[in-house]
């Protein structure tokens, strides 16, 4: 069964490039992002891991842990880290899960239960292991997105989505299309006009069901 928004994500034990982890314990009270790729030493994924490494300070500002997952082993991950640093100029300071048994890929529904890795496999054999999962401190799935092998992920958008998730969770609001930190937010329709004025002060009514307000 596929994971749905607000479902508790699977817990699991795994070996990583930083040592063994228990996933829920590793998340702790933080937000977390798990992002996957089908194989080490592949061109698109090398640029993506570099992008994540370069954003290290941004994840920390947001109290968010990031972790990669690949269906290769720990030693491959460590060797690949050198390539990633050479491309991006940044150290890979986050763990990469060694999912050579496909446990995590199947738990997160990126591969079917009967999937296996054939001898002489290529990235095409695990092509659907190309997802991003944003997970809250409550261990619930807040957002997921899946990309094809040929399209590099936009981690600026993932960072923007994380900002929106943290803002809406903290303040009980919603965010409009293309929202960025500092812009007006949307007052939920479940909040009456009277309660909205009391809670948010002045707000703009664009439609009866669309009201915007700055966060104070």
DSSP code at position 42: -
Q: How far apart are CA 195 and CA 167, in angstroms?
A: 19
Q: How far apart are CA 185 and CA 182, in angstroms?
A: 9
CA angle 119, 125, 127 (to 5 degrees): 155
Those residues whose C-beta lies under 8 Å from the C-beta of residue 47, and which sit 6 or more positions away, are: 87, 88, 152
Q: What is the pairing mode between strands 31-37 and 204-207?
A: unpaired
Q: How far apart are CA 96 and CA 74, in angstroms?
A: 8
DSSP string, 56-124: HHHHHHTTEEEEEEESS-HHHHHHHHHHHHHHHSS---S-EEE-TT-HHHHHTTSS-TT----TT--GG
DSSP code at position 140: B
Q: Catalytic positions, please?
A: 45
Residue 48 host element (H or E): helix 43-54
């Amino acid at each position: 069964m596929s994971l749905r928004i607000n479902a508790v994500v699977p817990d699991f034990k795994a070996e990583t490039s930083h040592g063994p982890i228990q996933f829920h314990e590793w998340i702790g009270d933080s937000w977390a992002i798990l992002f996957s790729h089908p194989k080490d030493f592949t061109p698109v994924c090398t640029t993506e891991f570099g992008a994540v490494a370069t954003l290290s300070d941004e994840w920390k500002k947001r109290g968010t842990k990031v972790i990669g997952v690949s269906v290769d082993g720990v030693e491959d991950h460590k060797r690949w880290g050198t390539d990633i640093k050479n491309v991006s100029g940044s150290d890979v300071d986050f763990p990469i899960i060694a999912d050579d048994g496909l446990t995590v890929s199947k738990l997160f529904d990126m591969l079917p239960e009967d999937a296996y890795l054939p001898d002489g496999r290529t990235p095409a054999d695990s092509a659907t292991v190309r997802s991003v999962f944003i997970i809250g401190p409550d261990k619930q799935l807040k957002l997921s997105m899946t990309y094809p092998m040929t399209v590099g992920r936009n981690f600026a958008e993932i960072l923007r989505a994380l900002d929106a998730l943290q803002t809406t969770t903290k303040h009980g609001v919603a965010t409009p299309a293309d929202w960025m930190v500092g812009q007006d937010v949307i007052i939920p329709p479940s909040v009456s006009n009277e309660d909205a004025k009391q809670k948010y002060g002045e707000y703009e009514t664009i439609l009866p069901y669309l009201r915007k307000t700055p966060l104070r």
